[in-house]
Structure 1
């Protein structure tokens, strides 16, 4: 990894907002999923949550591929499990929904740990999800339509969150990402060829030093040079 690459990844990690996230409930169009994940990376969101109408990860390909290298997608079987995970992290749960109790999205304090629920393109957020939210939010519109594309809505809300957090100095260190996760991202983002081989061979992720270089013992390097069958055979002896 070049020094420039190392510094760029480090700067990205230092700006990550680990207590800000998006939860997509059955959002199913690949281009919307891709756009949302891409925006999350741009904002500094390091992980998102999703539930799927079918047992499939719809982010397997497409334009989100590059962004997926930097944003972790946590899949859940249902919306209750997703909200439970976000509440365990101390987050306020906001639902993008037109209702009598909804407030302008700009009235929310996004410097608090926050999760934003986004619903399926055609039907919106389910009643089940709405019942789990703390507050409905709306994006004011004066035209004939009453809703934005889900990826546009996500970007609009997230950039308001970024604005508030920037004013509060929340994009300046210290880094909020765990050291283990930092090391993983530095390895996978800075040494992609080794990372793929490491995963293929079932090797542990090595340490990355403050110059961005791999720190591993001779056994790790030896196994990296061998086929998976070869080194596993040695382990069995």
Structure 2
């Protein structure tokens, strides 16, 4: 671990947005799943959520992710409705990408609030039940013959609007993670193999100095 690499890890973590996330409901194509995670990393999402497709297996990460799966944790969810209710109970507004009578332009919601963007499967989209209990339905205006975007493109469009609003509000200027949490994640990112060993033994991570070296 070089000092430069460790300082980059800490800079990235200092801009992570734990109050911004996505919920992928049965997104089954690996390149879409990976591309969404890549966008999540780019805008500072700390943890993404995913409901596996009918096979029960989350899509395999592929080269499209650009290794983003190392930096964005994925939390498996049993189903979209349960996940939406859990996220709402945790204080998140859930914005479902879904066309309905109450749909808003995707730029209208306040993304500086704790927010989850609910994305549906490639073929079926967000279920009516999940869309109904979401706080808001959002759509991306379309003026062509095709009426929808690829799910990964839609995710990027919406998440970069969230980034724009949060940049304007100064939410990337001050770390959103508590100092202890930032230190914990910095160790796991810098030394993933060592971290796994400490977790298995139930031991606390050792301290790191400013250069990312273990404090003896």
Tell me, yes or no, whether TM beats 0.5. yes
Say whether 1:207 aligns with 2:206: yes
Check conservation: 2:94, 2:116, Cα contact below 8 A. Answer: yes
Partner secondary structure for residue 125 of structure 1: coil
Deviation sequence 1:81-105 (CA, Å, 0-9, x none): 2112311321111111122221111
Q: Mind listing any 5+ residue stretches in structure 2 that lack a counterpart?
A: none
Q: What is the match of residue 230 of structure 1?
A: none
Say whether 1:88 aligns with 2:89: yes
Supply the distance in 1 between the matched residues of 2:119 and 2:205 (Cα, whole angstroms). Answer: 37
Structure label with greater radius of gyration: 1
Check conservation: 1:43, 1:162, Cα contact below 8 A. Answer: yes
Q: Mind listing any 5+ residue stretches in structure 1 that lack a counterpart?
A: 217-237
Partner secondary structure for residue 208 of structure 1: coil
Structure 1 position 35, deviation (Å) = 0.2
Q: What is the match of residue 154 of structure 1?
A: 155
Supply the distance in 2 between the matched residues of 1:18 and 1:12 (Cα, whole angstroms). Answer: 13
Q: What is the match of residue 118 of structure 1?
A: 119
Instruction: Assess, with a 3 A threshold, how the Cα gap between structure 1 residues 200 and 67 changes in structure 2: closer, same or farther.
Output: same
Quick one: higher RCO (CA 8 Å, sep 6+), 1 or 2?
Answer: 2
Alignment length (residue pairs):
214
Partner secondary structure for residue 214 of structure 1: coil
Deviation sequence 1:91-131 (CA, Å, 0-9, x none): 11111112222111111111111111000100111112112
Q: Which has the higher helix share?
A: 1
Partner secondary structure for residue 110 of structure 2: coil
Deviation sequence 1:17-37 (CA, Å, 0-9, x none): 110110011111000000000
Moved more, 156-165 or 182-191: 182-191
